[in-house]
Amino acid sequence: MERIQAALKKARESRGEQGRERPDAQVKPRSENKSNDTLILHEDMALGDRDEIWKAVQPFQPSDRLLNRNRIISHRSCPESVPYDVMRTKLLQKMRSKNWTRIAITSPTAGAGKTMTCINLAFSLSRQSDVHSMLLELDMRRPSMARMLGLTDSCQLARALAGDEAPEKHMRRYGKNLIFGANRAPERNPAELLQGSRSAHVVDEIEAQFRPDIMIFDTPPLFAGDDTMAFLDQVDCALLIAEAEKSTIEDIDKCEQELAARTNVLGVVLNKCRYLSRHEEYGKEYGY
């Protein structure tokens, strides 16, 4: 991990960029792009009872066996969930300090464990009782969230983003403070859908209606097409998931440049790492 960090630092310095977070003058705040109607709606909804609105979303209870098989472990507090809990805390602290609510999570290529990381992070956030979180699947060419969670009924968030159906019809609630929006089947033209003004308006409406503290968007791999780039102006920041022993320094650096040109980059998460130094083995056997 230290070698990757050193290589990335050298790459940033070679192009004159010392940090991942873009200066405010270079990245336009997402709030400036919101319409007055959306801001007024959000203000009016603040007078209502958020918990009652969330209760109206259909609940579901995933199978522990299925979650374990798909490496989803952070729905409970355990030594294995500690890395996601650390990620959760760092994410909350950064986003609260900047008054951000939306984060896109992506990877250079498929197979890096991006969706698994999104789901584990969402479940970890759900264990913070005062935090309301939403995870929306925008990886619509190869959707996998419904399968990993065991959602067998009709869920197709893409229909809601197209404005064809109500968003809550394609959402499922876990506990009191976590909502998933998934897709059971691939979408034919996801880039065009995400670039359209209608999907941006639907996302604004979802945020105004449900008022989540954190909105996580599981977006496609950057090298898979232009789907993610089409949506980045709708988020406050982005997180990159790299795959150990597969994602190259050049891949990570190129992705970081692409992300930084469009939004704030929180950092890079190294996934599937088999060899860790002792100080990187978070929480192993501590207090359990």
Which residues have C-beta within 8 Å of that of residue 251, sequence separation ≥ 6? Answer: 108, 109, 223, 242
- CATH code for the domain in which residue 161 is found: 3.40.50.300
- Full domain range(s) for residue 221: 35-239+247-262
Q: Considering the domain boundaries, does residue 29 fall inside one?
A: no
For residue 276, being part of any structural domain is answered with: no
Q: Let me know: does 209 contact 46? Beta carbons within 8 Å.
A: no
151, part of any domain: yes
Distance of alpha carbon 233 from alpha carbon 217, whole angstroms: 12
* Residue matched to tokens 């089947």: 185
How does DSSP assign 29-52, residue by residue?
-GGGGS-HHHHHHHHHHTTS-HHH
Output the pLDDT for position 273. 78
Question: Per the domain annotation, does 65 fall within a domain?
Answer: yes
Would you say how long the chain is, in residues? 288
Confirm whether 145 is domain-assigned.
yes
Residue 131, burial from CB neighbour count under 10 angstroms (0-12, 13-18, 19+): middle
* Domain count of the fold of the chain: 1
pLDDT for res 23: 45
pLDDT digits (tens, 9 = 90+) for 32-82: 555 444 444 444 445 458 989 999 999 999 999 999 999 999 999 888 899
pLDDT at 18: 44
pLDDT-flagged residues of the chain (< 70): 1-48, 275-288
In a 13 Å sphere around the CA of 123, the CA atoms on its Cβ side amount to 23
pLDDT at residue 25, as a whole number: 41
Helix (H, G, I), strand (E, B) or coil at 133: strand
